[in-house]
Structure 1
Amino acid sequence: MKIAFYGSSLLSAYWNGAATYYRGMLRALAEKGYDITFYEPDVYERQQNRDIEPPDWCRVVVYQGNVEALMQVTAEARQADIVIKASGVGFEDDLLLELVLQHAAPDALRIFWDVDAPATLAELRSDPNHPLRQALQSIDLVLTYGGGEPVIAAYREMGAQDCVPIYNGLDPHTHHPVAADPRFAGDLGFLGNRLPDREARVEEFFLIPAVRMPSQRFLLGGSGWADKAMPTNITYLGHVGTAEHNAFNVSPKAVLNISRASMAETGFSPATRVFEAAGAGACIITDYWEGIELFLSPDDEILVARDGQDVSAILGELTPERARQIGAAAMERVLREHTYAHRAEEVDRVFRSAARRQVEAAE
């Protein structure tokens, strides 16, 4: 089956947290025989900051950030069996949705794939006339990057025919153990861009523990933190390219996952970072969010902190041997249950089930 997928970017992870999710998921679907074309706009300097070249498992079409180009690429939707519009594409999202639905073939499966359900649902709740909310009844299926029952119920209440969470996973092709890198040696590493919905939590879970533990070395990677006041035992690395994520994950004693506030409040939303780090065999300390135990076992495969004081206590007691044991257990678990190959099996079942319902409804 042919898929036309309209998303933010497959080629660049620059200010684009969905890139890892798209790559892992679409590669796994391609391995199951899907013929995929990914359409991404040339915006936000992403094409100037590519971290992969166009892959052999997916055709990528980069279009200019103007309406004329948008009209051209959405017209190609009519050639697909499955048409997917993702959230947060970054250029004329409402018009993109309208055009994709307009051009999709009558028998095509129409899907909205939400990679930030808390943000999208907040928009829909605040505006009953939001174009996506108005379009939900003409969309065959909503897939979400996470969220569990609260997100499913919210989408159904707003008119979605069906909503299925498809969680993040591990792509072992790209995230795996490597040799430690002295540049990233330390006690605790955190990798994440500076975002309004995360900054206060970074202060609580990362900066305050660093102040409390001046003898330990902390590593901060990600864009936007250069002018942030921080203690001298934090080494700020700036943007860390995806090619270096494995080394960043394996080199410190532990790495920290800090969810955005909306994701933590929603729960059931494991970040791509969790699976990336676990796939490399890293010892992960994560902030608490409901549903962690569905993915990794607290205390055995992941360490859970409810605040900065917990982070300090965990880090103070964590030995290198214990960290290695936790990292190895996490890697074994995600390889067994949480790869994108596992997720693609689920997506394939969901696609086929939705297509059957569509045929039955037309008879």
Structure 2
Amino acid sequence: MSEPLNIVILGLSITSSWGNGHATTYRALVHGLSTRGHNVLFLERDQPWYAKNRDLPNPPYGTTYLYNDLDELKDRFTDEVAQADLVIVGSYVPDGVEVGRWVVDTARGVTAFYDIDTPVTLAKLVHGDYEYLHPDLIPRYELYLSFTGGPLLSWLKRSYRAQRVEPLYCSVDPDLHSSDFGPIEYDLGYMGTYSEDRQPAVQELLLKPARQWEKGRFAVAGPQYPESIAWPPNVHRIDHLPPAAHRRFYTSQRFTLNVTRHEMIRAGYSPSVRLFEAAACGTPVISDYWQGLNSFFKIGEEILVAERAEDVLRYLHELSETERTRIGERARARVLAAHTSIHRAIELENHVRRARGGCPRPRIIHSYG
């Protein structure tokens, strides 16, 4: 293991997974880093919609503090940011541009931007939308960490003068995801916050099969779905599931559906945390296709791809139980071999070491809390 690092992360949320995929990503990463012996301080803006839906108000790994505004952030945590070995600012952090400028002006260690929404971020930049990242900030961060890999990273470096761009995909915490199956309740389920650009695929790959197979059992879990959606009677709706309930939901399905946002499909190489979670539970995944998918899971062996409702119904009706189970087992083995929180922690250590040029700086050991 590398020497312990003092790490400060300013992220959208770690305490609430309501309506976002950031919390589970940060929880896995911070848990992995803490297990590796690093001291991690997570700073989160206290937002009312998350305050009402905190499913992990006191994370048991690292140290978490909430702050009310930018002034309080600077008043309370300037010393910690200045002295940290690594400071990470995440995408969609409120006042992210101002936070980022403060960080790169204050920190003496390595500074990084962690983009958990890379294709969306770059689309916003192209349209002059600098909600949480400004083009002038990108070259000032020493690391640009991206949950999207592939060709987009070279384009980002070339077009925005990023110093060093590295993939840092989502991951799973193996302690929370296992294949201890309970009773099967659904033939096909889907978990995801409502997104207008994902909904046509949900319609085609889940709701349409449900209408065509009235005896089938289906489920959709996630918040913010409009009341105008006409749900078939054999589709069970669950408004929100905290991460502690994800394993139970996935292992209650014969198959689970993965649907990707339009910008992520265009960019490719954008595996969602839900994809890794389901696979870690040993539940066979039926997914839409995007470039790079086969670099994470072997299509046909570890994951199934569907374009139309007929593809989904064919898997549900024709795949033998033996092959269904094998697909889930192979996918689970792939995740545990390459996509756990410990894997990501080690990758981040290596990125930081390369950004430093292999030279450690004088150390002040912190124990946040």
Question: Whole-Å Cα distance in 1 between the matches of residues 291 and 330 of structure 2?
Answer: 21
Is the alpha carbon distance of 1:181 and 1:12 closer, same or farther for their aligned partners in structure 2, counting shifts above 3 Å? farther
Question: Could you say which residue in structure 1 is the equivalent of 2:120?
Answer: 119
Question: Could you say which residue in structure 2 is the equivalent of 1:300?
Answer: 301
Is the alpha carbon distance of 1:44 and 1:211 closer, same or farther for their aligned partners in structure 2, counting shifts above 3 Å? farther
Question: Could you say which residue in structure 1 is the equivalent of 2:365?
Answer: none
Note if 1:201 corresponds to 2:201: yes
Contact residue 28 and residue 341 of structure 1 kept, 8 A: yes
Displacement of 1:121 in angstroms is 0.5
Contact residue 70 and residue 99 of structure 2 kept, 8 A: no
Question: Could you say which residue in structure 1 is the equivalent of 2:364?
Answer: none
Higher deviation after alignment, 167-176 or 196-205 = 196-205
Question: Whole-Å Cα distance in 2 between the matches of residues 42 and 326 of structure 1?
Answer: 41
- Pick the aligned partner of 1:50 from 38, 50, 54: 54
Question: Could you say which residue in structure 1 is the equivalent of 2:255?
Answer: 254
Deviations 1:96-133 (A, max 9, x none): 1122222212xx11111100001110112222988521
Displacement of 1:359 in angstroms is 8.3
Over the aligned positions, Cα root-mean-square deviation in angstroms equals: 2.1
Higher deviation after alignment, 201-210 or 268-277 = 201-210
Question: Could you say which residue in structure 1 is the equivalent of 2:105?
Answer: 102
Displacement of 1:178 in angstroms is 3.1
Question: Could you say which residue in structure 2 is the equivalent of 1:69?
Answer: 72
Question: Whole-Å Cα distance in 2 between the matches of residues 13 and 297 of structure 1?
Answer: 29
Higher relative contact order (CA 8 A, sep 6+): 2
Question: Whole-Å Cα distance in 1 between the matches of residues 134 and 35 of structure 2?
Answer: 31
Question: Whole-Å Cα distance in 2 between the matches of residues 284 and 212 of structure 1?
Answer: 20
Q: How does 1:124-135 map to 2 (within 5 A)?
A: 124-127=125-128, 132-135=134-137
Deviations 1:216-255 (A, max 9, x none): 1111111122611121111112212211111111112111
- Pick the aligned partner of 1:178 from 177, 180, 188: 180
Note if 1:161 corresponds to 2:140: no
Question: Whole-Å Cα distance in 2 between the matches of residues 43 and 36 of structure 1?
Answer: 21
The residue type paired with residue 6 of structure 2 is K
Question: Could you say which residue in structure 2 is the equivalent of 1:335?
Answer: 336
Displacement of 1:358 in angstroms is 8.2
Question: Could you say which residue in structure 1 is the equivalent of 2:96?
Answer: 93
Question: Whole-Å Cα distance in 2 between the matches of residues 307 and 22 of structure 1?
Answer: 34
The residue type paired with residue 11 of structure 1 is T
Question: Whole-Å Cα distance in 1 between the matches of residues 31 and 269 of structure 2?
Answer: 24
Contact residue 145 and residue 166 of structure 1 kept, 8 A: yes
Displacement of 1:165 in angstroms is 0.9
Displacement of 1:357 in angstroms is 7.0
Q: Give the secondary-structure state (helix, strand or coil) at the position aligned to 1:211.
A: helix
Q: Give the gaps of 5 or more residues in structure 1.
A: none
Q: Give the secondary-structure state (helix, strand or coil) at the position aligned to 1:329.
A: helix
The residue type paired with residue 70 of structure 1 is L
Between Structure 1 and Structure 2, the one with more helix by share is 1
Contact residue 18 and residue 223 of structure 2 kept, 8 A: no
Question: Whole-Å Cα distance in 2 between the matches of residues 32 and 25 of structure 1?
Answer: 11
Question: Could you say which residue in structure 1 is the equivalent of 2:154?
Answer: 152
Is the alpha carbon distance of 1:128 and 1:194 closer, same or farther for their aligned partners in structure 2, counting shifts above 3 Å? closer
Note if 1:38 corresponds to 2:39: no
Question: Whole-Å Cα distance in 1 between the matches of residues 130 and 304 of structure 2?
Answer: 43
Q: Give the secondary-structure state (helix, strand or coil) at the position aligned to 1:230.
A: coil
Note if 1:192 corresponds to 2:192: yes
Question: Whole-Å Cα distance in 1 between the matches of residues 129 and 232 of structure 2?
Answer: 46
Contact residue 181 and residue 247 of structure 1 kept, 8 A: no
Contact residue 101 and residue 110 of structure 1 kept, 8 A: yes
Question: Whole-Å Cα distance in 1 between the matches of residues 183 and 36 of structure 2?
Answer: 35
Question: Could you say which residue in structure 2 is the equivalent of 1:27?
Answer: 31
Contact residue 181 and residue 248 of structure 1 kept, 8 A: no
Q: Give runs of ≥4 in structure 1 deviating > 4 Å.
A: 128-131, 357-360
Question: Could you say which residue in structure 2 is the equivalent of 1:242?
Answer: 243
Displacement of 1:259 in angstroms is 0.9
Question: Could you say which residue in structure 2 is the equivalent of 1:222?
Answer: 222
Question: Could you say which residue in structure 2 is the equivalent of 1:7?
Answer: 11
Deviations 1:190-227 (A, max 9, x none): 01110123222222222222222222111111112261
Alignment: residue pair count: 354
Question: Identity of aligned pairs, percent?
Answer: 33
Question: Whole-Å Cα distance in 2 between the matches of residues 335 and 173 of structure 1?
Answer: 11
